[in-house]
Amino acid sequence: MAGAGKRVYIKTFGCQMNEHDSEQMLALLTSHGYHGATCPEEADVILVNTCAVREKPEQKAYSIMGRLHQLKRDNPRAIVGITGCVAEQRGEGLWDHMSSLDFVLGPGKIHRLPEVLHAVDTGGDGVCATGFEDGPFVHLPLPRGCRVRASVTIMQGCNNFCSYCIVPAVRGRERSRPSKDVLAEIKSLVEQGTKEILLLGQNVNAYAKHDPAELTFPQLLAKINAIPGIERIRFTTSHPKDLTEETIRSFGHLKRLCEHCHLPFQAGSNAVLERMNRRHTREDYLALVQRLREVVPHLSITADVMVGFPGESEADFSQTMELMQVVEFDALFSFKYSPRAGTRAAQWPDDIAPAAKQRRLESLQVLQREITLKKNRRLAGEIKEVLVEGYSRHVPDQIMGRTRCNRIVNFAGGPDIMGKVVQVRITEGLQNSLRGELC
């Protein structure tokens, strides 16, 4: 086998989609004889799976490339490749950052990784594979071994063109994976012992939107819910404009579907939402939240939000803070806007001063910390269903699991309950987790 005895190290930046791609690349290379390495120094092949969605992760990718250039001087036989969204966006331009780079591979070409490595191995210089191929949805072998939670891609790409977002440019147009393949993969994972499935896509609610012969997203959820042995189903990410009434109702009647919806709102002001090309208003968003809570009152709602978008006034920002107070999110992922070359918003002046962006981000995070803590504290005394994932990374001698609403719970317990669903009495709500005791 091409990779027999060789070791591969993958450094991943960015989102769950990227983590999933890294898992698939590792599984693909393992099927060609490669083994995982624990650090770049001991690897024969080093992959940096990059993220271009904001400036910060992109800069981190360049800084690691600097270190790898040094590493290649000490070990010229090591092969270094850049994959992911920065690979797609910058392509051959990446050799300006790292002249000793061996290859660049975009997210639409990861199935060609073994071929590309072979080309590099046999003397090919500077291979650059980017772009998206027409035709069937490309899916790769399953990683081996049982995992309590596993992600399954149901769609790739995005058609929404939010004006700040680089994703449609680097991940291509929406492509939905055939439901029979999705269901077969989930059945196989559940047979191997997986309890929780996370359905992945940039905009999962638009699943097979233009294919009348395919299941709709809520129909797909219902089929997954009926797979024997499955404990939990989650999905991410939802776009407010595509979250249908039928999907909202699924939270009420599908027993396996967890009571958690990640629903980015990005901004609280209609003027900003309009310039962001979000195609929903603040009122649309609040109506969805109300409907979700009518169906499941304790549903956990999390979101993404941005501060400092071009032209965002203090009054616009206050509307974001106000929306947060009305909704009381269970958790919030908040970012400072950074222009991404090639997007519509990058043509407009990035006119909010860095200090103002920072101040807005901090006020928003202070408010959210208060809300999160208040909501976590309120859970003390309740009994929650917890799926046990493993030992706690932060609290010694404790095990860790998650509630259906996706809150982390630490509690005392033995190895016999690993991977199982147990009942836990919550004893204390903290800022980032809960404490509990096994019932």
| Binds ligand SF4 (CB under 6 A): choice among 65, 80, 152, 167 | 167
Q: Is 156 near ligand 5AD (CB under 6 A)?
A: no
DSSP bridge pairs for 196: 149, 232
Residue 18 interacts, among ligand 5AD, ligand SF4, none and using kind-specific CB cut-offs from 5 to 8 Å, with none
Question: Which stretch of DSSP H or E encloses residue 52?
Answer: none
Query: Measured from the CB atom, is 264 or 429 closer to ligand 5AD?
Result: 264
Which range touches ligand SF4 (CB under 6 A), out of 40-48, 63-71, 162-170, 248-256?
162-170
Paired tokens of 118: 């072979």
| Binds ligand SF4 (CB under 6 A): choice among 62, 137, 161, 391 | 161
Pairing of strands 408-411, 421-429: unpaired
Query: Measured from the CB atom, is 165 or 426 closer to ligand 5AD?
Result: 165
Query: Measured from the CB atom, is 169 or 296 closer to ligand 5AD?
Result: 169
Which residue's entry shows tokens 């399953």?
A: 142
Site for ligand 5AD in 54-73 (CB under 6 A): 54
Query: Measured from the CB atom, is 343 or 372 closer to ligand SF4?
Result: 343
Shortest Å distance, C-beta 15 to ligand 5AD: 6
Q: Is 51 near ligand SF4 (CB under 6 A)?
A: no
Residue 30 interacts, among ligand 5AD, ligand SF4, none and using kind-specific CB cut-offs from 5 to 8 Å, with none
Cα angle value 129/131/132 (rounded, 5°) = 120
Contact 301, 261 (CB under 8 A): yes
Paired tokens of 67: 């270190």
Query: Measured from the CB atom, is 341 or 439 closer to ligand 5AD?
Result: 341
Q: Is 154 near ligand SF4 (CB under 6 A)?
A: no
Which residue's entry shows tokens 């006119």?
A: 351
Residue 34 interacts, among ligand SF4, ligand 5AD, none and using kind-specific CB cut-offs from 5 to 8 Å, with none
| Binds ligand SF4 (CB under 6 A): choice among 105, 117, 148, 158 | 158
| Binds ligand 5AD (CB under 6 A): choice among 232, 340, 407, 435 | 340
Paired tokens of 232: 């939990």
Whole-Å CA distances, 238 to 14, 123, 124? 18, 44, 42
Whole-Å CA distances, 33 to 27, 39, 43, 104, 252? 10, 18, 14, 22, 46
Q: Is 343 near ligand SF4 (CB under 6 A)?
A: no
Distance CA 354, CA 336 (A): 9
Residues ≥6 apart with Cβ < 8 Å to 50: 13, 14, 18, 57, 58, 61, 82, 83, 84, 85, 86, 87
| Binds ligand 5AD (CB under 6 A): choice among 338, 363, 398, 406 | 338
> Residue of minimal CB distance from ligand 5AD?
304
Shortest Å distance, C-beta 71 to ligand SF4: 33
Nearest-10 Cα torsion for 272, 276, 278, 279: 70
DSSP bridge pairs for 332: 303
Cα angle value 397/399/404 (rounded, 5°) = 160
Q: Is 164 near ligand 5AD (CB under 6 A)?
A: yes
Query: Measured from the CB atom, is 32 or 54 closer to ligand 5AD?
Result: 54
Distance CA 214, CA 398 (A): 45
Shortest Å distance, C-beta 261 to ligand SF4: 15
Which residue's entry shows tokens 């800084």?
A: 63
Residues ≥6 apart with Cβ < 8 Å to 218: 244, 246, 247, 249, 250
**Which value, in Å, is the radius of gyration of the alpha carbons in the chain?**
22
Site for ligand SF4 in 198-257 (CB under 6 A): 202-203, 239
Q: Is 345 near ligand SF4 (CB under 6 A)?
A: no
Amino acid identity for residue 70 in this structure: Q
| Binds ligand SF4 (CB under 6 A): choice among 162, 197, 230, 272 | 162
What is the CA 422 to chain-centroid distance, rounded? 26
Residue 50 interacts, among ligand SF4, ligand 5AD, none and using kind-specific CB cut-offs from 5 to 8 Å, with none
Query: What is the distance between the terminal CA atoms of the chain, rounded to a whole angstrom?
Result: 51
Q: Is 160 near ligand SF4 (CB under 6 A)?
A: yes
Query: Measured from the CB atom, is 148 or 331 closer to ligand 5AD?
Result: 331
What are the residues binding ligand 5AD (CB under 6 A)?
53-54, 164-165, 264, 266, 304, 306, 335, 337-338, 340
Residues of this chain that bind ligand SF4 (CB under 6 A): 158, 160-162, 165, 167-168, 202-203, 239
